[in-house]
């Protein structure tokens, strides 16, 4: 397996969905490009969706090595997201981004599934003017495949 902090590039297909605590409006299902600094230990990530949705932050990968060639990594992440246009499901251009993914790694090839929740964080923080109001955000699940350099 490659070094754990080696650059990782992932291409994926994002599908948006809502939950009972989120007010949401579906964005089109769309491709996604993501860059990560590795799949084990602390690192960073950035991703982009062609409809003008972007995110970045930190992650921590928990790697389980199966053999010299195989591994599985669970990677929770936390950061911020940004849109280049207003979206009805998001109250501002910048939001929190929280989620996690599970990835199978074979030598340099990676396949996985990642979830993200972009929102104002009101369900956790109960912000001043937003206190008592519904959490506002979108959720997505992304099927990904990529390469570790």
Contact 96, 118 (CB under 8 A): yes
**What's the predicted TM-score (pTM) here?**
0.87
Question: What is the distance between the alpha carbons of residues 95 and 119, in angstroms, rounded to a whole number?
Answer: 5
How confident is the model over 79-127, as pLDDT tens digits?
A: 999 998 887 777 788 899 999 999 999 999 999 999 999 887 776 776 6
**The residue count for the chain:** 149
How confident is the model over 94-106, as pLDDT tens digits?
A: 899 999 999 999 9
What pLDDT does residue 85 have?
A: 85
* Chain centroid offset of residue 118 CA: 9
């Amino acid at each position: 397996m490659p070094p754990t902090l080696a650059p990782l590039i992932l291409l994926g297909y994002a599908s948006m969905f809502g939950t009972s605590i989120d007010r949401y409006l579906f964005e089109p299902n769309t491709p996604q490009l993501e860059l990560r600094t590795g799949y084990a230990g602390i690192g960073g990530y950035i991703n982009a969706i062609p409809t003008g949705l972007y995110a970045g932050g930190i992650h921590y990968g928990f790697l389980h090595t199966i053999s010299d060639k195989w591994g599985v990594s669970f990677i929770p992440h936390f950061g911020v997201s940004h849109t280049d246009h207003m979206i009805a499901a998001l109250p501002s251009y910048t939001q929190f981004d929280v989620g996690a993914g599970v990835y199978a790694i074979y030598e340099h090839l990676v396949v996985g599934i990642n979830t993200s929740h972009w929102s104002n964080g009101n369900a956790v923080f109960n912000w001043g003017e937003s206190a008592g109001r519904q959490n506002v955000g979108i959720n997505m699940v992304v099927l990904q495949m990529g390469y570790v350099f």
